[in-house]
Amino acid sequence: MGLKDALRPVFLFKIIEFILALTILLVFTLGDAELWGRTIEKHNLGVFTSIGFFFIIVVLMIGIIVGERPKYQWVLFNLCGFLLYIASGSCAIELYNDYKKPFNLMSAKHAGLSMGAFAILNSLAFLVDTVYCAAHLFNSED
């Protein structure tokens, strides 16, 4: 990988998405936030999004490093990342916003709200990445 590939906007977007996804994954696995939603479906959505898209981002970064430029695939993955992260973040915020536990378990509420907030921030990063990739879909130079 040359310096030119590392400074491409697509790779820089992936670095931001990777950092946010890693933060979400660490809060979910190491923090006190145990659930993503009130139902098993919402929880499974959050688990799939946090773990699955972490690995998808890593694979896409490796592809960019080796010089791959699958334009349609990037747009589809980014669009799915936007939709899944905003849905997961909304489910987590919905759950932990009304979290009623004893005072000593309030760290779970803070961890859950931060997990949801980071998920929504990551969805916005995916949205910007989607718009950028869609705008440059037919440009052969970038």
Which tokens belong to 113? 């709200």
Q: How many Å apart are CA 31 and CA 8, to the nearest integer?
A: 34
pLDDT in tens, 3-57: 566 667 888 899 999 999 999 999 888 877 778 888 889 889 999 999 999 999 9
- What is residue 140's predicted lDDT score, i.e. its pLDDT? 55
Question: Is the per-residue pLDDT at 104 higher than 60?
Answer: no
Indicate the residue type of 120.
Answer: I
Locate the domains of the chain by residue range.
Answer: 3-135
Pair 36, 90: CB distance under 8 Å: no
pLDDT above 60: residue 131: yes
Chain centroid, CA 44 distance in Å: 15
10 contacts 133 by C-beta, under 8 angstroms: yes
Q: How far apart (Å, rounded) are the C-alpha atoms in residues 44 and 126?
A: 20
